[in-house]
Amino acid sequence: MFYTINNDLVFYQVISYIKKYTNLQIMLYNYFIKKTYGISPELIIILNNYIFFFVKNENYFSSRTYLPLIRREIKNKSVLIIRTENILINLIFSLFPDLYIHDIKIEMNNKSGKREISIYFLFFKERGLAVGVKGSYVKTINELFKNYIIFENRNKPLEVRCKVII
C-alpha cells in the first residue's frame, strides 16, 4: 500500500452529526431508555430498513446486551447500536462492529474518477455481511455519510466500498 499524509487527513478528520428528530425518533428514544434501563442514545437515525442507535463509548457494551431483545421487538427494521465517534476512521470501524476488517484504503474508482474508502475483508462471507442483502447496508452507510455527517474539511464524503483481499 502506498501511503501518504493525505490518507491521514481524510481518515483522522473530525466529524459531527446532524441531529434531526421526528416523532418516531422521539418514541424510539424513550423506548431505548426504557429497554436499556436508563442508557440514553446520543442520536437515532432511521434510514432505509435500518435503525441506528448511537451511544457514548462508555455505554456501548452495556447497551449491546439489550440488542437481542430490541431486535426481537422491532421486527420490521434492522437495529444497530453504534458508538458515537468524532473521528472518521473510528466511525467506520464502529459501523461494522462484528466483522474483522483487514485493511482500509483510499483508492480511486476507475469508472467514476472519484476517491473512495475501500474496506477489505479476508473472506467473501464477511464481505457479504458488510454489504448486506443486495448491497442495502453499504448503500445505507453511504447515505448516512451524505446526509447525517458533517466533515471537518467540508469536502463531500467519499463513498464506502467493501472488497475481499484476493
**Pair 100, 74 in one domain:** no
pLDDT at 156: 64
* Mean pLDDT confidence for 78-82: 96
pLDDT, residue 157, reads: 63
Question: Do residue 79 and residue 91 come from a single domain?
Answer: no
Task: Summarize the confidence of residues 71-87 as an average pLDDT.
Answer: 95
Q: What is the pLDDT of residues 111-162, one digit of tens each?
A: 877 788 999 999 999 999 999 999 999 999 999 999 999 888 766 667 899 9
Are 69 and 111 members of one domain? no
Structural domain span for residue 136:
86-166
pLDDT of residue 6: 60
Residue with cell 493525505: 6
Confidence at 7, pLDDT banded by 50, 70, 90: low
Write out pLDDT tens, residues 8-63. 677 888 999 998 889 999 999 999 999 999 999 999 999 999 999 999 999 999 99
Residue 135 placed within a domain: yes
Looking at the structure, do residues 23 and 66 belong to the same domain, yes or no? yes
Contact 36, 110 (CB under 8 A): no
Same domain, 70 and 91: no
Question: What is the structure's pLDDT at 151?
Answer: 85
- 64 and 121 belong to one structural domain: no
Closest CA to 154 of 15, 25, 30: 15
Domain boundary among 63, 84, 105: 84
Residue 8 lies in a domain: no
Q: Do 92 and 70 belong to one domain?
A: no
DSSP string, the chain: ----HHHHHHHT-BEEE-----HHHHHHHHHHHHHTTSPPPSEEEEETTEEEEEE-HHHHHHHHTTHHHHHHH--SSEEEEEE--SBHHHHHHHHSTTS---EEEEEE-TTT--EEEEEEESSHHHHHHHH-GGGHHHHHHHHHHHHHEEETT-PPPPEEEEEE--
